[in-house]
Amino acid sequence: VKMEDYEAFIGFDLYETALSSVAQKILSAMRSGDLVDSKNWEESTKTTKVTAKDKKNQPLETKNPNSLTSRASRGPIKLSSQSVTQLTGQMSADQVWKSVTSLAPCSSLIPQCNQKTSVLQQMEQKRKHCLKENMNNEHEQSMNLKRKNITCSSSPETTSKHMPLEKDSCEDDTCLNSEDSRAFRNQLCDVRYLDDLSKLQLMEVLNQAAGLVVTLLYKDGSTQLRDNQARTSSVKGIVMLLKSHIEEDSSSLSSPTCGGALEKNFNSTDRYIYIQTEHFFLWDQEQVAQHLFARRMLLQTLKCKCPVICFNAKNFVKAVLQFLGDDHGNWKQVADFVGLDPRIAAWLIDPSDAIPSFEDLVAKYLGKSIVDKTRSTCGNISQSIVNQNVCVNLKILYSLMMDLCSKLKVYGLWQLFCTLELPLIPILAVMENHKIQVNQEEMEKISALLGARLKELEQEAHFVAGEQFLITSNNQLREVLFGKLKLHLRNQRMHLPRTGLHQQPSTSEAVLNSLQDLHPLPKIILEYRQVHKIKSTFIDGLLACMKKGSVSSTWNQTGTVTGRLSAKHPNIQGISKHPIQISKPQTFKGKEEETVTISPRALFVSSKGHTFLAADFSQIELRILAHLSGDPELLKLFQESDRVDVFSTLTSQWKNIPVKHVTHADREQTKKVVYSVVYGAGYVTSIMGRRRPLPRICAQNQQLRAQAERQAVNFVVQGSAADLCKMAMIRIFAAVATSPTLTARLVAQIHDELLFEVEDTQVSEFAALVRGIMESLQQVQTLELQLQVPLKVNLSAGPSWGDLAPLQEAPNSA
DNA sequence: TCATCTGACTTTCGG
DNA sequence: TCCGAAAGTCAG
């Protein structure tokens, strides 16, 4: 196919023009009836009918094992009638945890960690065994603890203004005649004021807990469960609900409703504790002991063998990490933390749901609103009511998570949740805690230089336009170009693209490019925009994100509908890759060169004794497309040209010139063309079963239909690439965390590129590890994934991100 | 009346 | 072509 033929399609409705054979194949797969209808989708979230529906669909999906729909074989569809009834009710913590551990990321992804699962399982069995023996014993212990707690609260020390431990007047006050029960219901126990024996007992309770529900408490008194305002307050401590084991009660499982079942999940031996994480004066011996104990509790929580439920678990891990101190490889201690996060679960179920609050989720999935006593009473609120609220919310959080777990299983998202999204939580937390150094001095210099250049360009623009106007205003520019100068009339054949909604003449880059020969203004505007973008976003924007000479992005795990990560403050994923050349402003002109090149990525520098190492997949999306479509030409392309760049190969074929004559611009053009075709042509789940609800496909509306189909394809390809990239992160992270010597830190993920900071001496060893892991991803047996096309991995290293040199593979690497 | 905030819109960077 | 973040203008 000639390149020109494809170029002609761009800007037109791809659906109406002839599609490539790949696109056609995928479209026909889509039309075979597996599209998720939004109506069905809504119904399935409301009721449990989905199980029946899935079962009904099974023969349809398995009919064509080679099609894209073959994931049915590992989906949730094969549910026995027994398991269906089980799933429609809430799962117990035990059930969830057995499930999590059986899908533990280590076991499925890191071969050498296989024993870990069995150890976990053994521990689980042992725990069960011990539980029976300790029943009486435990009861005795808790009695002691309770007594202690009460004596504590009468001491003047504990009635601190932050955390009063006075008895609250909760509703069960009257119905319980036992003093012990009352002491533990909805009452926070500040672990600082326990004596040594009680601390020992508490550790034991933690070890034996059936489940933990945690939330951060902030200085302003709010928690993660209620922070509608922008969070400025720092972490003060951690509130934790320790759930004890309940007698297995089969009747509670068969109950499909959650409202009434809430109380059933809790019993009187559940404990609420508070762990302070701030304000330790380390010259005070007593506070040193308190600090140590808090540390032990949190470390124990991290490697807890029961589920830890937390809303926004990443922030919890971050807080713990900051408490532990981020030096000497402390981050490795959070590596195998598994926290169940309802927000992530909800996002998997409906990725288009924009960042829901805890309240939103409770309303959506439990169908009730949270009664907030602190809001109805203005003015002075009793601290005990606040505490009580936290405790109630922790219970609700537990129920919410159990409900979401059941739903994840029903929708076939459980494996994705456990193997990909949950292990990512501590990884992102560690990434956020790591600071990337930035060359501040250089940035300030560049900022001044760019500012001067912008002034020059502004003056030039005003001069050639013959009037003053705001260059950054598209409205004013539109008026000048098309109102005053009437450039669109100078060329009759010119097609004037218009803006999306208002249908006004566009002033986009493409338009300005086409107007370049008619007037000097468009060219000046183009340069102004380029310089302005660099200055405002990459230089000044980055400077605004800096703290003590370094930056650290905030990573959002639930911000996209395709499953990709996103980053902000700064958005490190969006920083220009290619350096730009600008002509020097007059005031900066010396005797030397007239131009200066600026590479925004080069401003990120590795810390002393360390090197940046970047590992990226090459054209992973196209390779996945080749695999999923099975298109012979596409497959051949990747199987043959193992070493040569695919876009260069395509360009040389289309233009009929040797590969070495392909210019950068040609290659970029090809890339544009290829992705236009790719995204013009799917299925609605990624290779890992990630799903996206599509707008209802309406046969009458060609445009909407075409858009939905493009979204579908985009989702499959992008989502699958995101799956593989996340898997790479998890496996590499786990490998480093379990290594006694390696210290490499994951710094950023730019979709198909992973950026690490590595000790200089470990570069080649680490590079070999990374290459091995990334290349092994084309064959992940536990996921029944076997790509027909090889994955290609590029490695590069250097002292700054913008200046990385290709890295040869370490000789004779394992 | 003035300052500030918010949302819609456009553009440009990444993949 | 899709998916993002960010920065800017402008009207309300």
pLDDT digits (tens, 9 = 90+) for A478-536: 888 888 888 888 876 667 777 767 777 888 887 888 888 888 898 888 888 888 888 88
Region A129-133: mean pLDDT is: 39
For residue A25, pLDDT beyond 80: no
Tens of pLDDT, residues A339-372: 999 999 998 888 877 678 888 899 889 987 765 5
Count of CB atoms situated within 10 Å of the CB of A640: 10
Check residue A759 and give its pLDDT: 95
Pick the residue with more confidence: A27 or A795? A795
State which amino acid sits at residue A104.
A
Ranked by mean pLDDT, the top range of A115-124, A423-432, A488-497, A802-811 is A423-432
Q: Percent helix, strand and coil across chain A, each rounded to 5? A: 55, 10, 35
d(CA A719, CA A686): 5
Reply yes or no on whether the pLDDT at A467 is more than 90: no
pLDDT bin (cut points 50, 70, 90) of residue A571 is: confident
Across all strands, nucleotide nearest A561 (CA–C1')? C3
Q: Dig out the tokens for A240 from the structure.
A: 């934790």
**Does the pLDDT of residue A734 top 70, yes or no?**
yes
Q: What is the mean pLDDT of residues A307-311?
A: 91
Query: How wide is the angle at C-alpha A773 spanned by C-alphas A792 and A103, nearest 5°?
Result: 125
* Per-residue model confidence (pLDDT) at position A227: 62
Does the C-beta of A541 come within 7 A of strand B?
no
pLDDT of residue A14: 26
Residue A265: the pLDDT is 60
> Nearest-CA residue to the C1' of B8?
A501
pLDDT band with cut points at 50, 70 and 90 for residue A781: low
Burial class of residue A167, CB neighbours in 10 A (0-12, 13-18, 19+): middle
For A613, the enclosing helix (H) or strand (E) is strand A610-617
Please name the residue that has the structure tokens 């509608």.
Answer: A228
**Confidence (pLDDT) at A49:** 31
Nearest to A606 by CA among A755, A731, A788: A755
**C-alpha neighbours within 13 Å on the C-beta side of residue A563:** 33
Three-state DSSP at A612 gives: strand
Task: Write down the pLDDT at residue A693.
Answer: 54
Q: Which of A647, A658, A133, A745 is nearest to A433 (CA)?
A: A745
Beta carbon of A575 within 7 Å of strand B? Answer: yes
Query: Hey, how many other C-beta atoms are within 10 angstroms of the C-beta on A100?
Result: 21
A18-30 average pLDDT score? 35
Number of CB atoms found within 10 A of residue A4's CB: 10
**Better-scored residue on pLDDT, A301 or A244:** A301
Query: What's the pLDDT band for A257 if we cut at 50, 70, 90?
Result: very low
Q: How confident is the model at residue A264 (pLDDT cuts 50, 70, 90)?
A: low
A96-110, A133-147, A334-348, A492-506: segment of lowest average pLDDT: A133-147
Residue A691 has pLDDT above 60, yes or no: no
> How many residues can be counted in chain A?
814
A589 against A160, higher pLDDT: A589
Chain B nucleotides close to protein (CB under 7 A) are: 8-15
The confidence score (pLDDT) of residue A143 equals 38
Can you tell me which residue has its alpha carbon closest to the C1' of nucleotide C2?
Answer: A714
**Residue A800 DSSP label:** B
What letter does residue A379 receive in the DSSP assignment?
S
Ranking A281-285, A341-345, A515-519, A699-703 by mean pLDDT, the lowest is: A699-703
Range picked from A402-411, A446-455, A761-770, A800-809 for highest mean pLDDT: A761-770
The alpha carbon torsion through A680, A682, A687, A692 (nearest 10 deg) reads 90
Task: Give yes or no for residue A254 having a pLDDT over 60.
Answer: no
| pLDDT surpasses 50 at A810 | no
The stretch A419-436 carries a mean pLDDT of 90
Long-range residue pairs from A509-515, CB within 8 A, at least 24 positions apart, any chain: A515/A481, A515/A487, A515/A488
HEC string of A225-279?
Answer: CCCCCCCCCCEEEEEEEEECCCCCCHHHHHCCCCCCHHHHCCCCCCEEEEEECCC
Model pTM score: 0.75
Q: Report percent pLDDT > 70 for chain A.
A: 62
DSSP A513-569: HHHTTT-SHHHHHHHHHHHHHIIIIIIIHHHHH-BTTEE-PEEESSS-SSS--EEES
Report how far residue A344's alpha carbon sits from residue A315's, in angstroms, rounded to the nearest whole number: 13
| Residues whose beta carbon sits under 7 Å from strand C | A 10-14, 470, 472-476, 532, 536-537, 541, 544, 556, 559-562, 564, 566-571, 573-574, 672, 675-676, 678-680, 707, 710-711, 714-715, 718
Mean pLDDT taken over chain A? 70
Between A37 and A791, the more confident residue is A791
Q: Calculate Rg over the CA atoms of chain A.
A: 30
pLDDT of amino acid A353: 75
A:685-724 Cβ neighbours of strand B under 7 Å: 714, 718
Torsions phi, psi for A274 (to 5 deg) = -125, 125
> In Å, what is the separation between the CA of A457 and the C1' of C10?
24
- Placement of tokens 């059936």 in the chain: A210
Confidence band (pLDDT; 50, 70, 90) for A394?
A: very high
CA distances from A100 to A31, A62, A120 (A): 35, 27, 11
| Amino acid in the structure at residue A360 | D
| Cα A629 from Cα A635, distance rounded (Å) | 9
In this structure, of A134-138, A297-301, A559-563, A622-626, the range with the lowest mean pLDDT score is A134-138
